[in-house]
Amino acid sequence: MLQRRNPSSIAAPLGRYTHGVEAPVGARFLFVSGQVGIGPDGSLAEGPAGQIERAFLNVKAVLDDNGYTQDDLIKTVTFMTRREDIAVLREMRERVFPAAGAAGDPAATLIFVAGLADSEWVVEVEAVAAKA
């Protein structure tokens, strides 16, 4: 079972994330490469909302295909090119990965970058999951 840790010696998380997540000894790990807004047919989703939702759906598909769920996420890193899309990011993340409830949220990092591998991409999301 994953242990989610928010020590009282630092400020509470500022959003939907946990300061630290500990995986048990012997856990299986899944490292999800950065996912962008490209659909199964190879086409780029339309607009920032479409790309962001598709990136999260792609992360979810990798988890699902390997027998993991949202509750197994221990870390996400999101790279964005446009600060004005942060509200859309939160909305799309909530749509694909609803509030975790009792299981808790993963550790998370959000980084704004000048650009990604393709100049049309607005987001890239990578993840790590663990299962006992």
The reply to whether the predicted model has a pTM over 0.85 is yes
Residue 102 has what pLDDT? 64
Q: Give pLDDT tens digits for 35-57.
A: 999 999 999 999 999 999 999 99
Average pLDDT value for residue range 68-85: 97
Give dist(CA 63, CA 126) in Å, integer. 11
Domain residues for the domain of 31 are 3-131
Tell me the CATH number at 55: 3.30.1330.40
Q: How many domains is the chain built from?
A: 1
Confidence of residue 3 (pLDDT cuts 50, 70, 90): very high
